Amino acid sequence: MSKVVHFEIPADDTSRAREFWGSLFGVEFQSYDGPMEYHMFGNDDQTGGGLMPRQEGQDGLMVYFNTDDLDSSMKQVTELGGSIEGEKSPVPGMGWFAHAKDTEGNRFSFWQSDESAPAPEQG
């Protein structure tokens, strides 16, 4: 469960940030349609990143760690004194994620691949 598979970069100016990170890493971003602006890149080693407009309260990168059992990983976080932020959420056709905090208040996330992940329920 320790492999970093994805990270997210919040940006005040996504065009400026895509230019900076794209030039720094030598990658091209692919833009995704959806309910929010999102741009992704991938690397040959199965890791990648995303860039999106900064939301209130976001500062710094969000790191996603791979897990084969998201529910078990979420439970382990709370057993060790950390916390889970909200519920696990699907990314349709790709997988599931959950946001967490460690005992020091540092935010991180888990990712579980699952091509059968459904679209989120509209409420």
Residue 118 tokens read as 């459904």
pLDDT at 123: 54
CATH of the domain at 13: 3.10.180.10
Closest CA to 42 of 93, 7, 14, 11: 7
pLDDT at 1: 58
62: in domain: no
Same domain flag for 81 and 112: yes
Same domain flag for 45 and 74: no
Instruction: Check residues 122 and 4 and name the one with the higher pLDDT.
Output: 4
Closest CA to 15 of 34, 36, 33, 31: 31
Q: How many angstroms separate the CA atoms of 57 and 95, rounded?
A: 25
Pick from 18, 36, 56: which residue ends a domain? 56
Same domain flag for 52 and 75: no
Domain that holds residue 5: 1-56
In the predicted model, is pLDDT for residue 18 greater than 90? yes
51: in domain: yes
Q: Which residue has 């833009």 as its token pair?
A: 31
Same domain flag for 44 and 72: no
pLDDT at 122: 59
123: in domain: no
Same domain flag for 7 and 29: yes
Q: How many angstroms separate the CA atoms of 20 and 62, rounded?
A: 18
Q: Using one digit for the tens of pLDDT, what is the confidence trace for 39-82?
A: 999 887 778 899 999 988 888 899 999 999 999 999 999 999 99
Q: Where are the beta strands (DSSP E) in 25-102?
A: 30-32, 38-42, 48-53, 62-66, 83-91, 95-101
Tally of structural domains, the chain: 2
pLDDT at 13: 95
pLDDT at 46: 77
Q: Using one digit for the tens of pLDDT, what is the confidence trace for 77-113?
A: 999 999 999 999 999 999 999 999 999 898 999 999 9
Distance (Å) of CA 101 to CA 10, 79, 80, 93, 119: 18, 12, 11, 26, 25
